[in-house]
Amino acid sequence: MGEADAESRADALTDAALGGDRRALARLLTAVENRTALAEAALRRLYPRAGSAHIVGITGPPGAGKSTLVAALIGEVRKAGRAVAVVAVDPSSPITGGALLGDRVRMQAYAGDGDVFIRSMAARGHAGGLASTTSAATAVLDAAGFDLVLVETVGTGQSEVEVAAAADTTVVLEAPEMGDEVQAIKAGLLEVADLVVVNKGDKPGAQRTASQLRAMLVAAPRVGSTVVDRPRPKQPEVLITTAATGEGVPELLAALDRHRQAAAADGGDGARRARLARAEAQVWAILSERLRDRLHRGGLRDATAVTLAAVAEHRLDPYAAADELLGKLMDETER
Amino acid sequence: MGEADAESRADALTDAALGGDRRALARLLTAVENRTALAEAALRRLYPRAGSAHIVGITGPPGAGKSTLVAALIGEVRKAGRAVAVVAVDPSSPITGGALLGDRVRMQAYAGDGDVFIRSMAARGHAGGLASTTSAATAVLDAAGFDLVLVETVGTGQSEVEVAAAADTTVVLEAPEMGDEVQAIKAGLLEVADLVVVNKGDKPGAQRTASQLRAMLVAAPRVGSTVVDRPRPKQPEVLITTAATGEGVPELLAALDRHRQAAAADGGDGARRARLARAEAQVWAILSERLRDRLHRGGLRDATAVTLAAVAEHRLDPYAAADELLGKLMDETER
């Protein structure tokens, strides 16, 4: 597919997607996931139209009930008459891609509702892929007019936590009485939380877990996240939900709205920084891809292979190799 | 700390570490984790001395018993008179860092044994950090003379799986009868496995799980991993262990050795590609960091901030921004 062809196809697809065609939207997101030329052309057009959706990250350890909570939240958002999209970063697919059965089931419940859109995504390839692909997908859904875009990730994994942390509002989900390994995960996650939710509130120990979390949050210094340059000066609220019955879900939606208003009210600083983090993830991923292309294709291809082989064989250290490749990149441009 | 100072301190520390001083080694690894100037100077010296250790990645879902298996494997390796180091990518710390209690307990069991070295690592900051920090740490431990370097990661998370997949031999750990979410994780993980281990072999269903896994592995096409450019043409063996009692652990060590020999025998192609993947992760991370430094510090700092703010406010699309910054990087070099 040539570039001009990609552009005209992108125009047709974006027009259709902006006009409410959900199949066109789905195809755009597939292009984003596969980083095709069509995706680039479409994003160039859609990006200026994005910026008004509330991007909410939802993360937590496996088994905390993220999917069930997202399903309950969709119902609540729809009651309020708002349109909602979900980007589920698929735990089955750091590598393979492919939707979880659960997503398909949830999808069916809203099959007739054009104001609900659920999408599983897998990022492939190079580091940083997850952050940039997800940011690009949220921009597309934002431009397509969804009021709320939920980004669901498993809270175990550097990239996955970063993705959730780059939202306007980040919800960290916990469940009562999880194992030791999960407890350990918890501590890292709390740093990125704007809201903490104890799900499975009907289980014994839910209140106690909530109290413990409140104590941890008071004790922990509220430093800005080291992952996303974003201050989180406020003590996050701790809520209890039972997603399976819907209990506490209206309160969660209200808390999300409050957080967004508060972020806008404090001079927009918190909101601005989350947007900057998402922008930087995308720009940096694109810049990296452009540089990688130059190194691995075209005139520098053989030289790059020789340099990397020397590092692999420990004849050259990686710093010297990086400086060598950087020099070649710059020389190439001058010519 | 100036550069010359970093270099002389690095010389002293690397000499001590190469001479068997474990505290010096620990300090080098801290420098690697924090990406200091000292780490760069030390790695430049140590890198040419690395290349003979067997790097083994061990990954699997939370609760599969990775830490217990690693502890059992350490015992087995020591019986064979070989020196072993462990880099545990800490699940508690996509963000905060800090060792798990379990590591400290395991550490104590080998406190008097200079041929065992266990280290928890957390990668901070930018995408790709985990892969490059871990690769650099394995190079340091390799140079320090460890025969076997085990890299333990949780198998949920793109970066974490990539790290384990970039080893010479990748072991994917499973346990019988885990939940649905874990089953989904499993499918993605199998793609990167050179060896599959069903741990908790004393639990009901272990044999059945092993049979199911063998069937999945036969059914799945053995395509090369999309994460690491590395062919995995051979059907991975499926072993059963009970790490808590040590059952099956000698067989696991024998299988690890066999895999390494087989990789070396097939013209070294499999081994070469794993080394290339680790080399590329490191070189690319350094190159990225150099470019980021140029963009965020020095003369381009203000221009970068202006460009990213325009993207954050959706006045500029991220592709146009990337091209703008790339142009500025190149212009700066010409001057």
Among A128, A129, A133, A107, smallest CA distance to A39 is for: A133
**Sheet containing B195-198, strands listed edge to edge, beginning at the edge strand earlier in sequence:** B116-121, B84-89, B148-154, B54-60, B169-174, B195-198, B237-240
Q: Give yes or no for residue A105 having a pLDDT over 60.
A: no
pLDDT of residue A133: 87
The residue with greater pLDDT, A254 or A281, is A254
- In the predicted model, residues of chain B with pLDDT beneath 70 are 1-2, 90-108, 122-128, 156, 178-188, 219-234, 266-270, 333-335
Q: What is the nearest CA distance from B229 to chain A, expressed in angstroms?
A: 10
Q: What is the nearest CA distance from A274 to chain B, expressed in angstroms?
A: 9
> To which residue do tokens 């979410």 refer?
B181
B288:A290 CB<8 A: no
Lowest mean pLDDT among A8-12, A180-184, A264-268, B165-169: A180-184
Lowest mean pLDDT among A135-139, A190-194, B78-82: A190-194
Kindly state the average pLDDT of the residues A3-16.
89
Interface test with B, best of A3, A106, A130, A158 (most B CBs within 10 A): A158
Give the pTM. Answer: 0.78
Q: What interface predicted TM-score (ipTM) does this complex get?
A: 0.80
> To which residue do tokens 């989180």 refer?
A232
Which domains, ranges and CATH numbers included, belong to chain A?
A: 1-48 (no CATH), 50-267 (3.40.50.300), 297-334 (no CATH)
Residues in chain A with CB shorter than 8 Å from the CB of B160 are 94, 156-158
Q: Using CA coordinates, name the residue in chain A closest to B64.
A: A181
Residues 6+ apart with CB under 8 A from A227: A158, A161, A162, A165, A192, B94, B95, B124, B125
Contact B160, B67 (CB under 8 A): no
Kindly report the average pLDDT of chain A as a whole number.
82
Q: Give yes or no for residue A96 having a pLDDT over 60.
A: no
Nearest to A96 among B188, B319, B330 (CB): B188
A127:B225 CB<8 A: no
The terminus-to-terminus CA distance of chain B in angstroms comes to: 29
> To which residue do tokens 């309160």 refer?
A251
A114 CB neighbour count, 10 Å cutoff: 10
Using DSSP, state whether B41 is helix, strand or coil.
helix
Kindly state the average pLDDT of the residues A281-296.
86
Using DSSP, state whether B296 is helix, strand or coil.
helix
A residues 276-295 near B, CB within 8 Å? 276, 278-288, 290-292
pLDDT of residue A43: 93
Q: What is the nearest CA distance from A240 to chain B, expressed in angstroms?
A: 23
Task: List the structure tokens of B111.
Answer: 């406190």
Burial, A52: exposed, middle or buried (Cβ in 10 Å; 0-12, 13-18, 19+)? exposed
pLDDT of residue B91: 52
Contact B290, A252 (CB under 8 A): no
pLDDT tens string B118-152: 888 865 555 557 778 888 999 999 999 999 999 99
Q: What is the nearest CA distance from A150 to chain B, expressed in angstroms?
A: 19
Q: Using CA coordinates, name the residue in chain A closest to B122.
A: A158
Q: Give yes or no for residue A165 having a pLDDT over 50.
A: yes
B residues 43-82 near A, CB within 8 Å? 43-44, 47-51, 61-63
Distance, in Å, from the CA atom of B142 to the CA atom of B188, rounded to the nearest integer, reads 29
Q: Using CA coordinates, name the residue in chain A closest to B143.
A: A314
Residue A113 — pLDDT band, cuts 50, 70, 90? confident
Kindly report the average pLDDT of chain B as a whole number.
82
Q: Using CA coordinates, name the residue in chain B closest to A161.
A: B94
Contact B284, A295 (CB under 8 A): no
Distance, in Å, from the CA atom of A233 to the CA atom of A137, rounded to the nearest integer, reads 29
Q: Using CA coordinates, name the residue in chain A closest to B93.
A: A188
Nearest to A181 among B62, B284, B312 (CB): B62
Residues 6+ apart with CB under 8 A from A258: none
Using DSSP, state whether B324 is helix, strand or coil.
helix
The residue with greater pLDDT, B269 or A282, is A282
Distance, in Å, from the CA atom of B69 to the CA atom of B88, rounded to the nearest integer, reads 12
The residue with greater pLDDT, B190 or A151, is A151
Contact A122, A98 (CB under 8 A): yes
Kindly state the average pLDDT of the residues A7-32.
94
pLDDT of residue A223: 44
**How many A-B residue pairs are in contact by the CB < 8 A criterion?**
265
Q: What is the nearest CA distance from A78 to chain B, expressed in angstroms?
A: 27
pLDDT tens string A206-260: 998 898 888 878 766 544 444 444 455 568 899 999 998 999 999 999 999 999 9
pLDDT tens string B19-45: 999 999 999 999 998 888 999 999 999
C-alpha count within 13 angstroms, C-beta hemisphere, residue A132: 28
Residue A188 — pLDDT band, cuts 50, 70, 90? low
User: CA torsion sign, B294 to B300 to B301 to B304?
Assistant: negative
